[in-house]
Structure 1
Amino acid sequence: MTCADELRRVKVRHSGLFGLDSVDTVEDADGSRRLTVSFLGPAPEGLGPANFRVDGGRRVTGVKVLTASRSTAVDPQLESRMELTVDRWGDLSAYRLSVVAADPLGGPGTDPYPGFDPRYDSVDFSFRPECAGLDCAQACCSAGTGCAPADGAAVEIDYLAKDYDSFRQLLLDRLSLTVPDWVERHVPDLGIALVELLAYEGDRLSYRQDAVATEAYLDTARLRTSVRRHARLVDYAMHDGCTARAWVCLETDEDLTLPAGDFRFATLPPSALPGGAPAVLGTELGRRNLPPYQVFEPVVAEDVELYREHSTIHLWTWGDAECCLPAGTTDAVFVDGAPGCDPSQRILRLRPGDVVVFEEILGARTGEAADADRTHRQAVRLTSVTPDVDRLYEQPILRVAWAREDALAFPLCVTSKGGPRCADLEVGVARGNVVLVEHGQAIDWCLQPPEPIDVPEAPPRESGCPPPSCFGCPDDDPVDARPAYPPLPLRFAPALRKWPVSQSTPFPAAETVATAQAAWLLGLPARARARITAIWRSLGTVSAPGSAPGSAPTSAPTPRSTPRSAPAPAPGTLDPDDRAYLATVFGADVLTRFQLDTQPDQALRTLLARFDELLAAKLARWTDLVRRARAGYVLRFDAEGWEIGQSWGEPERTALREDSPAFRGPASGATAQDPRAALPAVRLTDQDGHDWLPLRDLLDSGPGDRAFVGETDDDGVLWLRFGDGRNGAAFPAADAPGVQAQARYRVGNGRTGNVGAEAISLIVFCSTRQGAIQAVRNPLPAAGGVDPEPVDQVRQLAPVEITHRLLRAVTAADYAAVAALTPEVRRAAADLRWTGSWYEAQVAIEAFGTETAPTYLLDAVRHDLFRYRRVGHDLAVFGAELVPLDLALRIGVAPEYLTAHVEAAVRKAFATLFAPDAMVFGDPVRSSRLVAAAVSVPGVRHAEVTRLARLFSGPGGPGGPALPGALDDPLTTGVLPIGALEVAQLDDDPARPENGVLDLTLEGGR
């Protein structure tokens, strides 16, 4: 008998009886072998070779014990062992060692040795154990799990049987062997009915097996869900389309606030509305059976403040006429009130983060609205708003600026002379009251109930004993005793009833917010210094630092960001708010030590002079926060924001809110969505009130993350897939019948949302109709709507997509390619240099709008490269090494051309040739290219390069050209080499000759 738990062994140990525990075979270093016998408890005295009998064996039998001695081990636990030597070594078969009483002749007898338990007076062993070095256990044999079945007759199975007919014939053939007396084959027979039922089920299971095998490979999979999961295995994100976004401008005749979630926009044409064409619909009209229309809802659920003056914003031309904003403009000036008005009567309420739309409203020549160029419209997000006054005209103005990504893509004509009377026309204006909207209609809008989802009830739990353990410690806790079939539990995967569900990217993206926060934090110390300087100037009793003694006092207006409601303090005294700010930044002890209250002028000078020293700890923490923001970590208002407020003042904390419009990135990126990053616009609430949010996958989700994956099938229906308790939390089962979860989502997706300009003309309110809104329009067409990716396209792109993305930097070209991906980098170059011990990747970058790359951009590139660099490579990032040129040409001018005109044209051609966008890293300067640029100018008959060298490097000098006439002289070879990290520079600016000199000698002409 074999038992899973041998409880008798413990009782034998404590009862004083003897018993055998195990037999081990031991081979010594000299090659001799012996048997080590372990007893249950101490070994009895007087055991000798005649008391051990070895039975069994196939090839080697009759093994006899020659000697028997107690173990001499020092360990007391090994005292119950005996060492036996035998006359021969057995084979691989099983043997049995028994402890017996000696027979009358002094040999091993057959009776058990007195005092041994009858169950443990013998033990089976092998001279050559098959599981040497392992903890072998006996086979389990218990009810339901243990003993092997008796051998039966082999059953022949025809694995070619895959359909109903073959399964039916196979069953009939088998029954002819097992039940030969049953010969009935008529359809009404009960046996035939059972056979056909089993054949049908076999056919269904066979089809399922074939379907599973088909879906197991990318090339043969037919279901969209299967293709999506296969593509994910090779890191290819199959997308389910994306919704369209648009900018909507509202015109109102009074200031008002639209509550969040109370309104939506639509494309319903005016002709479809009863009784005219109102721009606003109330709930009572919006719920009627109207023709189909596209619905757009605000992307950000927040209150929208509308101002009457923002309906049309006029641009200030400083009194000039026929003015235009050129392409690439990133700043403008708005009219902010009537001339000579009080500053408190300014009409514009623009703030950083607001969006305005520039548009051309009239034809520049005809003055007709129909002739306005509709392509001259662009939305920009303001990054700077500064009030000012044009003193010449006493005109309040507002200076605004926006990011380089939002630079005007076209020249915007502001004023012109045109029309039948050649009058002054206002051609271009700006529009405020702009809202970013997205295609899709929420199913729970305006008090509509969310979609209920039935939650499956948890099956009843039946506790029982755990299964026996073949090795290790048994589990004493009760387990679920339900049947183990089916082996895989059915996971909760509901399908939403309406389709297509909207797919959109998060707005604003976390990396966009983090980047904007890092840019804001970079100016924090400078703003603190400016605030302290403004406080010092507000004293109005001393001269500015660095001015001559006795000079006139310098004063400055209080910054607009720190308004004061109390009367201005007396000259030479500090405002209480300013003193509180200084105490926050420097601490009360520092202010007391520097005698701020008694000597404010000297104290403020000292604080400015020792700013970095006194705030070393805060600046170190500030550097760490900037680094974290650059890494993509969003600084939270209630965490890092609280820390900023305690260290630098509450205004800095307020400005650092992650939901601030100023951190939403340029307007050009708001409508440009990546469909592969889009997620379904679904929010699920379980029966416990917890919200579940969508993710691309659950690979990085933990057991407590309430998330799901939305998968669209071939019919466009969205299925929700939850975690398994390891990768993502498992959806909780219902504890009572009838429990439901709630799903809130939007419907509307794909290219149908890409409506044209002026198509969105309707606003619908849920609660109260706002009659102050006069017009609703989208000056720009909706963009970003994409249909779901076809399955055939995924099959073609998924296997090779990973080869098209750079995920590591090994070669110099890899480093340059990764560095060029950083925003604000125009181009980059890299080179691997051997330092004597290892390689160093040297990366040079060019920044937009400046010759010298700023420090923060170098830090950003260095941070990005660290994730891609090869292990063992050092990294050095610096700005491009500009090589100013010393260039001289002799040019022959045709007689009919003016020499001065030709010279100006040649210099303009070379300015284009050496423009920042034209020159690249390592591009050599070739004489042939210079001559070609010169002779392309009208009037040039002949061109010759007479001097080509690096500026400030004499002949034969370090880094300079070779001696004249040498084999490597640029005039001889026609090429001036430029290093891999260098860029040729020829500004030809007399005010900055160090940036390159162009010497022209013109002959001929007139």
Structure 2
Amino acid sequence: MTPATAPCCTGDARRAVVRAATHNGFDYVEVDCAQTLLTVTFLGRAPDGITPAHLVIEGGRRERDLRVLDVRIVPADDEGLDDVMLVRVDRPGDFSNYRLRIIDIDENGHPTGRTPAGFDPRYTSVGFGFKAGCPVDQDPADTPPCPVPVHAAPALDYLARDYQGFRQLLLDRLALTMPGWTERHAPDLGITLVEILAYAADDLSYYQDAVATEAFLGTARLRTSVRRHLRLVDYRLGEGCNAQAWARISLDGADTLTLDPRDIMLLPPLPGVEAPMAPAADHPLEPGTIVFEPDASVAAITLYADHDVIEFYDWSGGAQSPSRCCLPVGATSATLKDPGTIPPPPPPDDNDCTPDAPPPDIDAGVGAGQWHRLKLSPGDVLILAEIIGPQTGNPADADPMHRHPVRLTSVRPGHDPLNGQLVMDIAWCPEDALPFPLCLSAIGGPPDCAALSPVSVAWGNILPVDHGRSVADDLGRVGTARTEADCADACTPAETRIIPWRFRPVLPQPGLSFLAQPGDDGHACGGCGPRAATARGTATPDGAIPAVTLTDSSGARWLPRPDLLDSGATDRHFVVETEDDTATLRFGDDSNGRRPAAGETLRAHYRIGNGPAGNIGADALGLILFRNRYPTGVTLRITNPLPARGGTAPEALASAKLRAPSQFRRRLARAVTAKDYADIVMRDFAGQVQRAAASLRVSGVRTEVRVAIDPRGRAEPDPALLGCIARHLDGYRRIGHDVRVVAAMQVPVALAVRVCVAPDRIADHLRRAVRDALGTGPGGFFHPDALSFGTGIAISRILAALHAIDGVTHAEVTALHRLFEAPDGALESGLLSIGPLEIARLDQDPDAPENGQLTIVMGGGR
């Protein structure tokens, strides 16, 4: 740095010394409005002989090398004032800093590099700016008179993240800043302060680490954080759901009884309680007790003694003519025996003058159910159960797996005109079709050969129940955070607003129940859909909702929602977030959902009991507890004929993290390709369709989508099913696609086999066995569910089915081709090829030979 610009040596004291001495120098420079005339003030009197060649202007960015055009000295009139010099330049400068310097020149006008005579070397130049008079937005930064000495900062251990690390870091720092403090004992006040600061730093470090950890899906550990991350990709974290069951209540001591579903609890027998029913106040329940309660859809429970056990009517004519009767697999209707009787006709009256009066209309009374005692109606649920062994007649030999729930769709009273027995014809949902043959009556073994009836019965008074005990708790009062007042003007009174605290209550009791919601029955296609009795407990836990509602001070109800994105500013909604089996309630902010007002009190009504713990076995329930009204004079017995199911544990976080990124691919919401149409049918009609195939056919500006259906359990689909599928696909089809749903193209097959029979077997008996093995019945080779689209007919599989018959020593296929077509080499290749939209068919029906023909040549045997 040159002496003229050293900032520490140019103070006012030196200026005063220069003025008093014979030396001179520049004091400051002023610029006029035109920015081309500089007024230079000297430190005292101006020297003579200064010309433009003696002045040099340095600096500038855009405007550099400014030239001095003219110099004129203006002496001061007063002895106490300094002389000035007017310097004119060729053009204005820019916004940067400039410096005016006086130099010494020789006789040729060249700089000599020496200080001009009579000038102090510290004041041969002076800084200025052309834009000093222009407005600026900020003050220029002050230059410190002397630079502050910079010392190397002590090294800090940035890896310190816990209490011990921060404590040592503070002690090391204080050793540098306070070297005189050497006390290190625990009672010392300095050590106490150090440890308090280390504790606070450790807590803050943990908080920072926790925030960074929960900020990303891959590292988040809290269930609440993972749930919110997954919601961003439209994935709902499963919180599990409670188990569901069917409960059977037997009534003794009265013909009918009505109960309040909110008043009863059903649970397994408690230790020391032998009675089947008791007041709940006498038996406090321990935490974790399995409790079932009636489903929320049940408004009232009406029990009938006649519905406890309902016998089937087999139309056999009674015990005098024993028979073997059963409901086959797939049955959807039956006839029940009604305990009522038709009253006998009145005795003839001798005084009646109209002997030809018509008899009472029995059929009209029966059709109206006038004398029937069964009060069944569509929508009721019955459980068909085997109660004795069909071989022995012993109740212990009854198969507990032969119990099946059905939901009634039709109830029609009737009677048997042969003996006057009142009956009830019932039908149930096709989804509830019997999965096994149910024996109704049988004939016992010798020597008695007694009639065994009833082998199976229908149980009524069936109640839908699910796992979870209802409780109620106060959540406290919403506090006040602050009060704000706004004044619009002097004429308007102040408006006071009370801002409540953020209210995040936790339900006092853990284990909140989540209720599975039934699926959409819009594509039930004539069936009951999710209302079917067998569908109970099969709903996925994805859409389960928490079983909790709130009531505030005014009695208004608050309802749970999966999130608050669709909630309005006044909607009383909240979100349940679970963590470690506890449930926290999150409310809105008066934009998305209403915020509880300050001073408001909330009361929670919720149920506790969730997950697989509720999947109890059959006949596990055995006790009814009454909360309020205990019925007297009657005896109620409770059981669950079928196991409870549907209880699901909350989804694991690791599993959710893996599934969430690809969730948008899991649910097909629009059909674009042919495969998309088939996949939607298979997804939404899995109970009625075995397989579906689709193809696209372009014709001009439109594209026809041909969807072929292979129904489950039958060869040809019901036309109502095809129409229902077409309507359902209309909501998924692409614009420009015309959807046409048709039955699969059936390919009738002509098959001829030669079978050799063992010498000790009867050939005709084995012929029937061969027909059954290659038939359309259950287990048959050509059963409708055994073949589907593109399934070729392999000769090896046919031979395997024939050789599995006991008594067959040899078998061969002599002919295999499409019916009404010439052989195409299937015998040589061993496979009859079927197209991707075709299904092979061989019905062996003599009334419809066009549906396939089977030729059997038997050899050997007897």
Q: TM-score with structure 1 length normalisation?
A: 0.61
Whole-angstrom distance in 1 between the partners of 2:767 and 2:590: 77
Cα offset for 1:298? 0.5
User: Secondary structure of 1:356's partner?
Assistant: strand
User: Secondary structure of 1:437's partner?
Assistant: strand
CA separation of 1:280/1:170 partners in 2, compared to 1, >3 Å: closer, same or farther?
closer
Residue 357 of structure 1 is matched in structure 2 by 383
Decide whether the 8 Å contact of 1:453 with 1:743 is kept in 2: no
Decide whether the 8 Å contact of 1:922 with 1:979 is kept in 2: yes
Out of 491, 514, 518, the position equivalent to 1:503 is: 514
Is 2:695 aligned against 1:695?
no
Alignment of 1:210-249 (within 5 A): 210-233=209-232, 236-249=235-248
Whole-angstrom distance in 1 between the partners of 2:831 and 2:97: 90
User: Secondary structure of 1:202's partner?
Assistant: helix
Whole-angstrom distance in 1 between the partners of 2:92 and 2:265: 93
Structure 1 residues without counterparts, runs of 5 or longer: 1-49, 65-86, 96-120, 125-137, 142-146, 445-449, 466-477, 484-488, 521-661, 956-963
What's the CA shift string for 1:889-926, capped at 9, x where partnerless? 45555666544334333222221211101111012234
Residue 400 of structure 2 is matched in structure 1 by 374
Is 2:632 aligned against 1:745?
no
Whole-angstrom distance in 2 between the partners of 1:191 and 1:290: 53
Out of 661, 665, 689, the position equivalent to 1:825 is: 689
Residue 267 of structure 1 is matched in structure 2 by 268
Decide whether the 8 Å contact of 2:475 with 2:507 is kept in 1: no
In structure 1, give the amino acid aligned to 2:839. V
Cα offset for 1:991? 1.0
Residue 127 of structure 1 is matched in structure 2 by none
In structure 2, give the amino acid aligned to 1:315. F
CA separation of 1:62/1:923 partners in 2, compared to 1, >3 Å: closer, same or farther?
same
Residue 203 of structure 1 is matched in structure 2 by 202
Is 2:832 aligned against 1:976?
yes
User: Secondary structure of 1:914's partner?
Assistant: coil
Is 2:374 aligned against 1:348?
yes
Bigger Rg over Cα: 2
Whole-angstrom distance in 1 between the partners of 2:93 and 2:693: 76
Residue 450 of structure 2 is matched in structure 1 by 423
In structure 2, give the amino acid aligned to 1:455. V
In structure 1, give the amino acid aligned to 2:334. A
Whole-angstrom distance in 2 between the partners of 1:291 and 1:190: 49
Decide whether the 8 Å contact of 1:268 with 1:293 is kept in 2: no
Alignment of 1:757-776 (within 5 A): 757-765=618-626, 766-776=628-638
In structure 2, give the amino acid aligned to 1:299. D
Whole-angstrom distance in 2 between the partners of 1:224 and 1:831: 45
What's the CA shift string for 1:332-384, capped at 9, x where partnerless? 11012445456311011111110111122223333332332222222211112
Residue 786 of structure 2 is matched in structure 1 by 918
Out of 433, 441, 444, the position equivalent to 2:469 is: 441
Out of 875, 880, 889, the position equivalent to 2:744 is: 880
Alignment of 1:309-320 (within 5 A): 309-319=306-316
What's the CA shift string for 1:441-498, capped at 9, x where partnerless? 1114xxxxx4333323242125599xxxxxxxxxxxx999999xxxxx9742210111
Is 2:300 aligned against 1:295?
no
Decide whether the 8 Å contact of 2:478 with 2:501 is kept in 1: no
Cα offset for 1:821? 1.7
Cα offset for 1:685? 1.9
Whole-angstrom distance in 2 between the partners of 1:910 and 1:211: 67
Whole-angstrom distance in 2 between the partners of 1:462 and 1:346: 74
User: Secondary structure of 1:819's partner?
Assistant: helix
Residue 476 of structure 2 is matched in structure 1 by 453
Counting aligned pairs with the same residue, the percent is 44
Alignment of 1:470-481 (within 5 A): none
What's the CA shift string for 1:959-995, capped at 9, x where partnerless? xxxxx6xxx5445544433221111111110111222
Alignment of 1:894-913 (within 5 A): 897-911=761-775, 912-913=780-781
Whole-angstrom distance in 1 between the partners of 2:304 and 2:498: 67
Whole-angstrom distance in 1 between the partners of 2:789 and 2:665: 26
Answer 1 or 2: which has greater strand percent.
2
Whole-angstrom distance in 1 between the partners of 2:209 and 2:327: 66
What's the CA shift string for 1:187-239, capped at 9, x where partnerless? 77766655544333222101111122233345544433334444545555443
Alignment of 1:383-532 (within 5 A): 383-418=409-444, 422-425=449-452, 426-444=454-472, 450-461=473-484, 463=486, 491-506=502-517, 509=518, 511-512=520-521, 514=522, 519=526
Decide whether the 8 Å contact of 1:57 with 1:91 is kept in 2: no
Whole-angstrom distance in 1 between the partners of 2:529 and 2:424: 21
Alignment of 1:759-908 (within 5 A): 759-765=620-626, 766-791=628-653, 794=656, 812-823=674-685, 824-833=688-697, 841-862=705-726, 864-865=728-729, 875-889=739-753, 897-908=761-772
Alignment of 1:577-592 (within 5 A): none
Decide whether the 8 Å contact of 2:713 with 2:784 is kept in 1: no
Structure 2 residues without counterparts, runs of 5 or longer: 1-31, 38-57, 67-89, 99-132, 318-322, 344-364, 489-493
In structure 1, give the amino acid aligned to 2:531. G
Is 2:541 aligned against 1:675?
yes
Q: Provide the aligned C-alpha RMSD in A.
A: 4.5
Whole-angstrom distance in 2 between the partners of 1:681 and 1:724: 23
CA separation of 1:93/1:941 partners in 2, compared to 1, >3 Å: closer, same or farther?
farther
Whole-angstrom distance in 2 between the partners of 1:168 and 1:783: 56
Residue 334 of structure 2 is matched in structure 1 by 332
CA separation of 1:992/1:210 partners in 2, compared to 1, >3 Å: closer, same or farther?
same
Whole-angstrom distance in 2 between the partners of 1:872 and 1:94: 74
What's the CA shift string for 1:915-968, capped at 9, x where partnerless? 10111101223444445544554555665555444335x55xxxxxxxx6xxx5
Cα offset for 1:284? 5.6
Residue 849 of structure 2 is matched in structure 1 by 993
Alignment of 1:120-269 (within 5 A): 159-168=158-167, 170=169, 194-233=193-232, 236-252=235-251, 253-269=254-270
Cα offset for 1:683? 0.7
Residue 562 of structure 1 is matched in structure 2 by none
In structure 1, give the amino acid aligned to 2:328. P
In structure 2, give the amino acid aligned to 1:742. R
Decide whether the 8 Å contact of 1:283 with 1:767 is kept in 2: no
In structure 1, give the amino acid aligned to 2:272. A
User: Secondary structure of 1:212's partner?
Assistant: helix
Decide whether the 8 Å contact of 1:312 with 1:432 is kept in 2: yes
Decide whether the 8 Å contact of 2:342 with 2:422 is kept in 1: yes
Whole-angstrom distance in 2 between the partners of 1:290 and 1:490: 35
Alignment of 1:17-32 (within 5 A): none
Decide whether the 8 Å contact of 2:292 with 2:469 is kept in 1: yes
Decide whether the 8 Å contact of 2:383 with 2:459 is kept in 1: yes
What's the CA shift string for 1:68-97, capped at 9, x where partnerless? xxxxxxxxxxxxxxxxxxx999999899xx
Which moves more between the two structures, 688-697 or 917-926? 688-697
Whole-angstrom distance in 1 between the partners of 2:216 and 2:801: 58
CA separation of 1:947/1:719 partners in 2, compared to 1, >3 Å: closer, same or farther?
same
CA separation of 1:945/1:836 partners in 2, compared to 1, >3 Å: closer, same or farther?
farther
Whole-angstrom distance in 1 between the partners of 2:241 and 2:548: 14
User: Secondary structure of 1:459's partner?
Assistant: strand
Residue 27 of structure 1 is matched in structure 2 by none
The number of aligned residues is 703
Decide whether the 8 Å contact of 2:247 with 2:462 is kept in 1: yes
Which moves more between the two structures, 866-875 or 920-929? 866-875
Residue 99 of structure 1 is matched in structure 2 by none
Whole-angstrom distance in 1 between the partners of 2:173 and 2:606: 56
In structure 2, give the amino acid aligned to 1:390. D
User: Secondary structure of 2:531's partner?
Assistant: coil
CA separation of 1:797/1:395 partners in 2, compared to 1, >3 Å: closer, same or farther?
same
